Structure 1
Amino acid sequence: MGGAEVYCAICGGPVNVPYWEDGFEEEYTYDPTVVQEDRSDLEWLKDVRVIGEDPASTGLSRIWVSGVASHDDHGYFDLEEGDPVMELFGEESLRTYAYKGHHSFAVPYHQTCRTLLAKYLNLEGDAIDIDGNDDNGNDRSDDIDNDIFFQVLRQLADTSEYAQALKLDYGSVSKNQEQYWVVSRGEEHFVHSPLDIPRLEQYFNRLPAPEELTWYNYRPDYELGYDPISALPIELRLSILRYLDMPSALRLFQTCRALYSTQGSNSWWRRRLLADMPWLFEASPIEEVITQHWDRVYKDMWWASRHTRDTPYLRENHWYQSLAHMKMTGLANRRRIWEEILPQIAGPYEKLQKEKAQIDLPDILKGASSTGLRRLIRPEPEVNSSFRYYFAQSIAGLKDAHIEFHVHLDQEQFIRGLHFAGQQSSEQGDLTQDAFNFPTTVESVQVPANDCLTGIIVTSREFPDGEEGSRKIVGMEFLLGSSTSQQVGSTDGDRRLIHVSKDHFAVGIETFSSPEGGLSRLSLLQQPTLLSHGIGRFRSQGSTPDHVNLEAAKFLWRKHIPPPGLQISDHSSGYWSYAMEKDLSPMEPLIFGTTDAELADITAISIDVLFGGIEVQYGNRPTRSIGSRHLAMKSLIIDGQGGERVVALNYVVKHIPKGIHIVTNYGRELVVGHSSQRPEELVQYPPRDPETEQSTYLVGMYGWWTSRDTPKARLEAVGCLFAAELDGKHQSVPEMPDLAPGQGRIWEPSAPTGVRVVGPILGDFSVKESLGINSRNLEALDRCPTRSWLDCSRPLLELRVILCHSFDEKQVPLSAITFKFADGAKEELTIGPEIRPQSPIDTQGDGNDWCWCSLSGHGRKTEDERSVHPHYRRHVWELGGKRLQSLRVFLSPIDEEVGRGSRLSGVQFIAEDGSESPKWSHWNFSSDDAYMIENITFTDGKIGLKLFVGETRRSVTYEDPIVYALQAMERLA
């Protein structure tokens, strides 16, 4: 597919210097006599700014404008270090023209083009030079209202997936707006600055002498006789000519001697210049200075501002030759932008500007802030109207204000509208039934006279509708200061909290709505609590609401909002998180426990090895889980009653979250996926207070899965939940254990004691991997971030193994092994995941197995294996209380030309009575002849196995853990 360029929203031109080489065909290059050899005259194309909206902003204006931004590819712009917008979003690049998705809509433009727009709108800033700076060098390019400007750009947005510009008619430049900018000989004017035109400045500094030749090739041809127009005063004749376009005037000159003589007037040409060429603003300052030869100025500017390819006619034209040295291509670009594009932007801008001037901001909104506009539905209407409803004209008026809301529901009981129905509604534009293109019914919600609105919980659900599906509002809960609420519609769905900030009170609401789509965004307008002094209805609210979690307003939550008192970390997501829409992607909270009793009741934490889901098991409470696929669950047993607590979660985040690492205060660990020591990939929790060095309690986590209800569910974002105290008080936070930093590998669940390794590592190998002209050795054990061990000295009731689809026909895909001991309480020890029955989600609902291997690049071999058996195969070998005698290991030597060592190709256990387990190997293993066989015999001293566990490396989204190598372990003397 390759890359793609985007274009300036105002002029439609490129946002960087176009590329061509001298060796290109002349047709696809720019004329070196027109474009400077070093192309420095095209540098203005790189002076690009990006304007966008921060819906989460608490200001009534949510518009931001970046500093200089450099286009990278596909509409992404890199910001300069220290740019406030970079700090605002925590990202070094911005995506533009992305109307849909998690990126807020943003638009790039040349700073020069914005200055030209300001001149068109007559909104130039005071003392502004051509670079858009004032006398002090500050960036103050114009008086354009950014809120109105952005609203116009959003109305003109091209909502298609791969938009490169606005939905404007860019006129003559449109043919150049391909995947990459089209460089074409003779079209240099498209890339020259419409403001910085040195030859134009030189022209007006030294105006030309009169020209004998006329710029049209004819003179009037008529008989001398009576001409009635000659009797008209000169002023009237000038008025007639003023309202004619130039081609009409020239034709009239041929038939009317009086008008022909009138055009010879210097004042007529001056007036025509100013009227016909409003974009020639350099002429205005010299209007009174020049008293002769305005006809020549008009003619010169008329020709210089027209882009016309060199033709035989023009080469023969003496006058054109006299202007050839001028090469005012920038003036042609200015005229193009001024006449073809700016009217399309200026029209809606001036309309909105006029509407805004008619609105008198009431006292109650002066100094007010917002909770941030939250998007509520999908798809969002392409054009929305903003409504701001305030509860009274002044804060004092809130004391007796009647606060009532009307909620509009359509015939399917989806909420489609919300407006304030109190005394101010008629003054602010009442949102009645006539505002919608569909029938609705209305439910009324009244806030009691002694109470106040503190927040609204919006409940919404996803519905199948096209590729992306749709999200609709099914309920609203109005939260009151008295800790009561009023519900309209359903509470079954995903929940979005919109609540006043701490130490604030609500004075109004703001909505985005459209006749076609209805309500799409919502926020509360608020003022600081100190301004509500003496108004009794706000006493019930207090300064710190304790019945809601204000931090939960960051996200939409699946089914449940995290309870009060929990701190919510920022989410971590990778650079593949295109599908994530912060307002519309429901996070799933998993609460481990908010009291010490709950945390003490935890018995295990399990994670699907393909990141399909996470769950916590309890001794006396129901299991809690998030995610939709709980198929291959890898578990860590937790001794909650004995004081064991989860004290850290580490995430490895690359293009998507690729690893989760759990640590307890007992020094026991669980690793799913990658384990990394690279700080740019590893996100560690919990944080410590920098002043007190006190850690918080890790009490939960949250995540978001894309395609949640399909087999392709993918974890896109993860975060943690903390608490500063448990049971209403601060307690001692369990200390982080000493995990022997620097040992390089992780023992799961913990390092063994009283044993050591002995003998060779069976399955240790390396292969060469080509990287272009270079190559490197890939060491199998380097792929194994974890080690585990099995005690083979105890009697077993049964031995279970899990095999997964293989990636190499000579590597056993041993994903898990479980020992069920016969002594004690029939304890089980599992290395790897336990496989649970598949759900309809795992099988696409039709009984057909699906796995990530279908996306593998291993071709026919993978297809054959998938057709023979499901992704996971569970095998059970009953031992009935017998001990293991030995292990037979099948090894496949690596060809010396490509590597060294041997792959672990199969394993077979032998019991003390000589009975043998099946040969567990890759799926089509049939003969022992091609393999080396090693034996590990278990004795009183040699009692166990060390397992080296890594990922399959099938080159798919998620990899299974498999055992790459084995080594014997013996008791310490």
Structure 2
Amino acid sequence: MVAEFNVYCAICCCPLGGSCEVGSTNPWHLKLRRARVARRTYSRRTGSLYYETDEEEEDEKEERLSKMPWLRETAEADVDEDTASVNSDDYDHSYDPDVISPEDLSWLNTVFALGIAHRKPGPRTYMLCDCYYDDRNRVYIHDTDPDDSDEQSRYFAYGVSDLTDPPVFPVHWECIVLLSRAIGISSVASIQKNVLYDVMLDLADFSCLNLSYGDITGPDQDWQCIPGEEYSVVCPTLEFDMGHQIIVDFEAGLFESQKPLELGNKVIKDPFTNMPYDVIYLILQYLPGDSIMALNRASWAILTLTRSNSFWKNRLAGDMVWLWELQQYFESPESSRVRNYKSLYLWLDKKTQPLYGLTGTFMGIANRRRIWGPCTELAERYHRKLHGSLQ
């Protein structure tokens, strides 16, 4: 007998409906869950191996907490207390109720199916229809003829089917909205469904597409609600008040800027000194922000060339196209408050990293940043296929 698997959104690789479990608010369950997240966070950030069955020695625990003091309170679960009677599902296979609520998960229930209408006379008809997922890769289309039989309205996702009909690709509505932005069109209605369908068909795998969906471990035979990965199921298109966050978070954390040191005359050898600016600029275009910061520490010439606000403002616009609230902020009078675009870049880059253990205001934006990766690849393939079909 072949094992049964759930399938996931073709764009974000998250569950199609009610597969997420928000955990118990029992104080002991909260303590155990957060201690587990703290240990996993530490092991991931230090690059060390961590096994759930390991018994952590006190000296190891103290070393971990000394390096991550902000996690001390949540990590100090009493390992001597008897946990035999505690069901691990209550704390290790459910999300933290103080981090995410059932209402935050409601967007996962709005699912559409991209596919080819089967058993219809005439030429192929491509559809993007409201649907519901009925577990184990079965999808039922809402927008069908009332006289249609159950078999006619039923489709199978990703080609896992006992039928000869082409598969459909389920997507969350919010994810297809995000994809339309990545493609560069004004609305979902403008998507060429036949082109996008062919793109997804080329990438079809068993339960999702053959894309990199980021560092998440939820998608499995069944969806796993991993504590610490709550951000991955937060709606990526939630409204975000960028101006407010810049005032209460970014500006509040800034120190009085100091006059930059002039150390050029102390540089003994710098290979970038004699390199034309245009060439350096082209090189920097291909580097992420953290790599530029590393070059700043290694090269005085690079540091000098990247001091200007205009450089970092351009980087913000080019590297964070998924953060459209920032672009809107730049167009508002409020943007005159920003004096240091380099600091703003570093702050946003850190705040929006889709990392295990992330909580707080930026969870939706971090999930958007994660999903923007597969959106970008789909958009590139979409344009190549679209332009190829027009030639």
1:180 aligned residue (222, 228, 244): 222
Cross-structure match for 1:155: 202
SS in 2 for 1:209: helix
The change in CA–CA distance for 1:225 and 1:210 in structure 2 (over 3 A counts) is: farther
Structure 2 residue 335 is matched with structure 1 residue 275: no
Give the letter for the 1:331 counterpart: I
Cross-structure match for 2:6: 5
Deviation of 1:119 (Å): 1.0
CA distance in 2, matches of 1:95, 1:26: 34
CA distance in 2, matches of 1:338, 1:345: 10
Cross-structure match for 2:171: 109
1:84 aligned residue (140, 144, 168): 144
Contact 2:22 2:96 in 1 (8 A): no
Cross-structure match for 2:134: 72
Give the letter for the 1:101 counterpart: D
Deviation of 1:294 (Å): 2.3
Give the letter for the 1:352 counterpart: K
Contact 2:155 2:167 in 1 (8 A): no
Deviation of 1:238 (Å): 5.6
CA distance in 2, matches of 1:16, 1:253: 46
Cross-structure match for 1:349: 382
Contact 2:4 2:136 in 1 (8 A): yes
Contact 2:242 2:329 in 1 (8 A): no
Per-residue deviation, residues 849-872 of structure 1 (Å, max 9, x unmatched): xxxxxxxxxxxxxxxxxxxxxxxx
Deviation of 1:46 (Å): 0.7
SS in 1 for 2:251: coil
Per-residue deviation, residues 42-98 of structure 1 (Å, max 9, x unmatched): 11111101122135434544212222x222221223454xx2366566555443234
CA distance in 1, matches of 2:215, 2:103: 24
The change in CA–CA distance for 1:331 and 1:234 in structure 2 (over 3 A counts) is: same
Deviation of 1:180 (Å): 1.3
1:299 aligned residue (342, 346, 360): 346
SS in 1 for 2:158: coil
2:21 aligned residue (7, 19, 32): 19
CA distance in 2, matches of 1:185, 1:208: 28
Cross-structure match for 2:363: 329
CA distance in 1, matches of 2:198, 2:275: 50
Deviation of 1:122 (Å): 0.6
Deviation of 1:231 (Å): 9.4
Deviation of 1:327 (Å): 3.1
Give the letter for the 1:345 counterpart: L
Contact 1:15 1:110 in 2 (8 A): yes
Structure 2 residue 162 is matched with structure 1 residue 97: no
Cross-structure match for 1:123: 185
Q: How does 1:557-576 map to 2 (within 5 A)?
A: none
The change in CA–CA distance for 1:234 and 1:148 in structure 2 (over 3 A counts) is: closer
Cross-structure match for 2:232: 190
SS in 2 for 1:45: helix
CA distance in 1, matches of 2:158, 2:198: 14
SS in 2 for 1:10: coil
Deviation of 1:343 (Å): 3.9
The change in CA–CA distance for 1:79 and 1:57 in structure 2 (over 3 A counts) is: closer
CA distance in 1, matches of 2:372, 2:322: 7
CA distance in 2, matches of 1:152, 1:242: 28
The change in CA–CA distance for 1:20 and 1:41 in structure 2 (over 3 A counts) is: closer
Larger radius of gyration: 1
Cross-structure match for 2:251: 209
The change in CA–CA distance for 1:88 and 1:73 in structure 2 (over 3 A counts) is: same
Per-residue deviation, residues 619-664 of structure 1 (Å, max 9, x unmatched): xxxxxxxxxxxxxxxxxxxxxxxxxxxxxxxxxxxxxxxxxxxxxx
Structure 2 residue 98 is matched with structure 1 residue 33: yes
Give the letter for the 2:127 counterpart: W
Contact 1:211 1:296 in 2 (8 A): no
The change in CA–CA distance for 1:261 and 1:9 in structure 2 (over 3 A counts) is: same
Q: How does 1:510-659 map to 2 (within 5 A)?
A: none
Contact 1:99 1:157 in 2 (8 A): no
Structure 2 residue 84 is matched with structure 1 residue 43: no
In structure 1, list runs of 5 or more residues that go unmatched.
Answer: 126-140, 311-323, 359-973
Q: How does 1:911-926 map to 2 (within 5 A)?
A: none
CA distance in 2, matches of 1:86, 1:299: 55
Contact 1:200 1:328 in 2 (8 A): no
The change in CA–CA distance for 1:114 and 1:59 in structure 2 (over 3 A counts) is: farther
Q: Which has the higher strand share?
A: 1
CA distance in 2, matches of 1:89, 1:115: 31
Per-residue deviation, residues 92-126 of structure 1 (Å, max 9, x unmatched): 5443234543244112111111111111111222x
The change in CA–CA distance for 1:122 and 1:212 in structure 2 (over 3 A counts) is: same
TM-score, length of structure 2 as denominator length: 0.68
CA distance in 1, matches of 2:342, 2:147: 55
In structure 2, list runs of 5 or more residues that go unmatched.
Answer: 30-88
Aligned length: 315
Deviation of 1:299 (Å): 2.1
Deviation of 1:146 (Å): 0.5
CA distance in 1, matches of 2:348, 2:189: 26
The change in CA–CA distance for 1:105 and 1:187 in structure 2 (over 3 A counts) is: same
CA distance in 1, matches of 2:125, 2:252: 55
Per-residue deviation, residues 310-351 of structure 1 (Å, max 9, x unmatched): 5xxxxxxxxxxxxx8853111121111212x22442333222
SS in 2 for 1:176: coil
Contact 1:221 1:254 in 2 (8 A): no
2:308 aligned residue (265, 269, 293): 265
TM-score, length of structure 1 as denominator length: 0.29
Contact 1:29 1:184 in 2 (8 A): yes
Give the letter for the 2:144 counterpart: P
Contact 1:79 1:86 in 2 (8 A): no
SS in 2 for 1:70: strand
Cross-structure match for 1:777: none
Cross-structure match for 1:246: 289
Cross-structure match for 2:33: none
Q: Which has the higher helix share?
A: 2
The change in CA–CA distance for 1:296 and 1:87 in structure 2 (over 3 A counts) is: farther
Q: How does 1:330-409 map to 2 (within 5 A)?
A: 330-339=364-373, 341-358=374-391
SS in 2 for 1:73: coil
The change in CA–CA distance for 1:92 and 1:239 in structure 2 (over 3 A counts) is: closer
CA distance in 1, matches of 2:252, 2:303: 18
Deviation of 1:33 (Å): 2.6
Per-residue deviation, residues 683-739 of structure 1 (Å, max 9, x unmatched): xxxxxxxxxxxxxxxxxxxxxxxxxxxxxxxxxxxxxxxxxxxxxxxxxxxxxxxxx
Cross-structure match for 1:225: 266
SS in 1 for 2:139: strand
Per-residue deviation, residues 380-401 of structure 1 (Å, max 9, x unmatched): xxxxxxxxxxxxxxxxxxxxxx
Give the letter for the 2:236 counterpart: P
Higher relative contact order (CA 8 A, sep 6+): 2
The change in CA–CA distance for 1:271 and 1:85 in structure 2 (over 3 A counts) is: farther
Deviation of 1:207 (Å): 8.0
Cross-structure match for 2:117: 54
CA distance in 2, matches of 1:232, 1:156: 42
